[in-house]
């Protein structure tokens, strides 16, 4: 997916529907919920949880960027 996005940067934003964006944001929320549980249960190291939270945040920012570009079109 990352390679496709680099080779075709406009393809994703052009075909992103509102439903798809909502689904992606909901999925990230579920991931964060799992991280909260993992942190509470000491299932993962704090550093590892922090890394995952940063990745989720980056993905959320990217989705919002795509959504705002799609709304401006």
Asked whether residue 48 is assigned to any structural domain, the reply reads yes
Enclosing domain of residue 45: 12-72
pLDDT digits (tens, 9 = 90+) for 56-65: 999 999 998 8
**DSSP letters spanning 19-63:** HHHHHHHHHHHHHHHHHHHHHHTT-S-HHHHHHHHHHHHHHHHHH
Overall domain count for the chain? 1
pLDDT digits (tens, 9 = 90+) for 10-41: 555 555 556 788 888 899 999 999 999 999 99
Asked whether residue 64 is assigned to any structural domain, the reply reads yes
Asked whether residue 4 is assigned to any structural domain, the reply reads no
Asked whether residue 2 is assigned to any structural domain, the reply reads no
What is this structure's pTM?
Answer: 0.68
Asked whether residue 5 is assigned to any structural domain, the reply reads no
């Amino acid at each position: 997916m990352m390679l496709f996005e680099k080779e075709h940067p406009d393809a994703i934003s052009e075909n992103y529907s509102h439903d798809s964006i909502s689904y992606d944001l909901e999925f990230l929320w579920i991931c964060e919920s799992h991280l909260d549980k993992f942190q509470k249960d000491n299932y993962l190291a704090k550093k590892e949880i922090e890394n995952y939270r940063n990745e989720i945040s980056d993905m959320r920012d990217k989705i919002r960027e795509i959504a705002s570009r799609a709304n401006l079109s």
